[in-house]
Amino acid sequence: MQQQTIHIKQAEKKIWSLLANITDPEVPVLTILDLGIVRSVEITDTGIDIVITPTYSGCPAMDMIATNIRMELLAAGYEKISVKNILSPAWTTEWMTQAGKEKLKAYGIAPPSDKQQVCSSGLFSPNEAIQCPQCNSYHTQRISEFGSTACKALYQCIDCREPFDYFKCH
């Protein structure tokens, strides 16, 4: 019995490593594991159950991510794959891995702050101190709380003048 459990754990580990090959279609430097949207992987008598959660309700990438998971596992010889979308607990940027944050920065997108500052509902809240991914200056300003995708805000560096996306806290 114990041996069987170990066997299943190892098989699940194999699936996790395959999932690490799948990237976010909108931010291709991030894998879905970096984003923290894969909530569980389970091997059951009937097949493989994978649970994912969306970053935002309207995230258009979710259907594609679910399809890509299926394709990746089919290509590796797996069958009877179920990809389920759950909403609770709601995704938060706190689930993003440290490696993911570093990749984002190298890609030119400011990663979410470790300490969430603007998730309060206070009006006209002061700009969050976001570091410019180009020149590392904290002398930056928010242009808009909404950016090119649901998960980003628009910032500009006052020192190097470069506009950049900030993966906003959520």
Partner 1 sequence: MNSPITNKATDQLINQSTDQLINFLLSLADSNLILAQRNGEWCGHGPVLEQDIAITNITLDILGQGRNFYQYAAELISQSSGEPATEDSLAYFRTEREFKNLLLCELPKGDWAQSVLRQFFYSIYTKGLYTQLLNSKDDRIAAIAEKSLKEVNYHVRWSSEWIIRMGDGTEESNQRLKNALKYLWPFTGEMFIPADFEKDNGVDLSLVKNEWQKNVQNVFEEATIATPDINMVMQSGGKQGIHTEYMGFILAEMQYLQRTYPNAEW
Which position among 147, 155, 164, 167 is part of the footprint of partner 1 (CB under 8 A)? 147
Pick the piece of the chain touching partner 1 (CB under 8 A) from 8-16, 75-83, 94-102, 122-130. 122-130
Q: Which of 42, 94, 114, 145 binds partner 1 (CB under 8 A)?
A: 145
Please state the closest distance from residue 116 (CB atom) to partner 1, in A.
12
Q: Which is nearer to partner 1, 106 or 119 (CB)?
A: 119
Closest distance of CB 31 from partner 1, Å: 22
CB of 153 to partner 1, least distance (A): 10
| Residue 150 binding partner 1, by CB under 8 A | yes
Tell the smallest beta-carbon distance from residue 89 to partner 1 (Å): 7
Residue from 113, 112, 105, 153 nearest 132 by CA? 105
Write out the binding residues for partner 1, residues 43-82 only, by CB under 8 A. 54, 56-60
Single-letter code of the amino acid located at 149: T
d(CA 71, CA 14): 15
Q: Give the nearer residue to partner 1 in terms of CB position, either 3 or 121.
A: 121
Give 109-115 contacts, CB < 8 A, sequence gap 24+: 109/27, 109/133, 109/152, 109/164, 109/165, 109/166, 109/167, 110/155, 110/164, 110/165, 110/166, 110/167, 111/167, 112/166, 112/167, 112/168, 112/169, 112/170, 113/169
**Distance separating alpha carbons of residues 143 and 9, to the nearest angstrom:** 47
Quick one: 54 or 112, whose CB is closer to partner 1? 54
Query: Rounded distance, CA 31 to CA 67, Å?
Result: 15
Q: Which residues in this chain contact partner 1 in the complex, by CB under 8 A?
A: 54, 56-60, 86-90, 119, 121-125, 143-148, 150, 154, 170
